[in-house]
Chains A and B, each alone.
Chain A
Amino acid sequence: MNGLLCSAFGWLDERFDVKGLVEFASHKRVPIHRGSVFYYAGGVCAFLFLLQVASGILLLMYYRVGTDASYESVRYIITKVPFGWLMRSVHSWGANLMVLFVFIHMLSVLFMKAYRKPRELTWVTGCALMGLAMAFGFSGYLLPWNELAYFATKVGTDIIGQVPLVGHFLLKIVRGGEEVTGATLSRFFGLHVAILPALLTSLMGVHLLFVQVQGMADTDKAKKTMPFFPNFILRDAILWLLVLNAVCALAVFLPWELGKKADALASAPAGIKPEWYFLAQYQFLKILPGKIGPVSGELVGIGVVSLAGLLFVAVPFWDRVLPEERRDRAVNLFGWVSLAVLAAMTVWGHLS
């Protein structure tokens, strides 16, 4: 067996210089310092994405798209298909944990200032990946065609419609018409299972390529390092196993509910709220008055949220123009204030 593996390796090496890759991996080292634990967050995001792909493909075997089929097919999956309830809950919990770990990864990079030169583009691609992860969550949320999803999509897509000049055009493209209907469901399905996976996979490839070429950011100037392969990767694997266990435990003990089927002629139910990662924006839109001066409150809200997002993405570029002695403090203040506002609005949105 060993001989067979060796000859297969030799065959591949002759053609693709695999030894070069192994050599590269064996020289790659990971700094060891008090923040090293956060190096694992990115790997967990990648692992959860793979879990989503796998569980999503399994769900596709039974899921049918359409206003008369989506809800029924998900109900069939969770009530009749062997382990269907598990697959659906793993997919739902996996999505939530993926967004959570993307947040952890982004915030740790922000606070460790790992986005600084030469890693500006790694940060920007990371921000784009976070946007794609949230788009995945938003588009997938509608697919069971239940009451909560229907209203969340109505509100979310209406926000797109508020964008000045092109809003109505974008709204019609996203919804497939003026209203949230079966056409919207078809578009979200295409987005969720074809467009977003292709975009996310490509961008993740670019992101990982940047990380491989530039190595891990060593902002603490660590004296000790460990080999990436096998030491770091094996630690990564242990964490992936723990995360898989956590997803399965959540799926078993807190299975995801299906709720009531969407009805275009039913009132929005009392206590309706979006997923936790949209709660802060939801609460912010809720507290704004109808008009702020001559401008509509929604438009002001969208403007403020977009500006905050832009500031976040542009951190590597505004950080470098600050005086060096104030740079770290300014970014830390920005990070902590953003985090505090997000957390406070999320808790307020949950409780109100």
Chain B
Amino acid sequence: MNRKTFLNLAVGAGGAGFLASMVYPVLRFLLPAEQTEAQPDVLKVGTVKDFGDGASKILKFGRHPIIVIRDAKGGFHALSATCTHLDCIVQYKKDEDLVWCACHNGKYDLSGKNVSGPPPRPLDKYTVKVQGEDLLVLRETA
């Protein structure tokens, strides 16, 4: 290696190191800190009386929104409320007895399965438990 090549390499490596030392802290600064809060396993969503037939409610389970539905036959369902297509919040359509996303017309059945429109996968499912009069949603998937 001659002196010119060596100097080019040394200056190039130094320049790259200098740039990296400038860019890395900026990128780390822009990237938000990871949330380390504990995620709850159970959420009390109200009492059975709060949900008439065909009623639904959107609540936060930890950091994620969930939708709790009481269908026309009186059965309870709890699903992730975030559409698997592009992140909109879904809603229960009583007349069609399904979960609907207004953003791109995605549809899911009450078990969370994507049945029509662009959603690529089902909604996450939660377990609903009736304990006396209280209605509980559990993280474990059914």
**Which residues of A are interface residues toward B (Cβ below 8 A)?**
151, 154-155, 157-159, 169, 172-173, 176-179, 183, 264-272, 282, 285-291, 296-298
Contact = CB atoms under 8 A, between A and B. Distances in A.
Nearest to A264: B65
A151 B63 CA distance: 17
Contact of B120 (A173, A266, A269, A298): A298
Q: Identify the interface centre among B58, B86, B102, B105: most chain A CB within 10 Å of its CB.
A: B86
Contacts of B118: 285-290, 297-298
B114 A290 contact: yes
A179 B104 contact: no
Q: Identify the interface centre among B35, B89, B117: most chain A CB within 10 Å of its CB.
A: B89
Interface of B: 27, 30-32, 35, 58-60, 63, 65, 81, 85-91, 101-105, 114, 117-121
A142 B121 CA distance: 28
B83 to A, nearest CB: 8
B86 A285 contact: yes
Contacts of A176: 32
Contacts of B88: 151, 154-155, 268, 272
A309 to B, nearest CB: 19
B63 A172 contact: no
B59 A265 contact: yes
27 contacts: A151-B88, A151-B89, A154-B87, A155-B86, A155-B103, A155-B104, A158-B86, A173-B27, A173-B30, A173-B31, A176-B32, A179-B63, A265-B89, A266-B89, A267-B58, A267-B90, A268-B88, A268-B101, A268-B103, A269-B102, A282-B104, A288-B118, A290-B117, A290-B120, A297-B118, A298-B85, A298-B120
A269 B59 CA distance: 17
Contact of A265 (B65, B101, B102, B119): B65
A308 B77 CA distance: 42
Given A270-B102, A286-B104, A289-B118, A178 B90 contact: no
Contact of A178 (B63, B104, B105): B63
Nearest to B119: A290
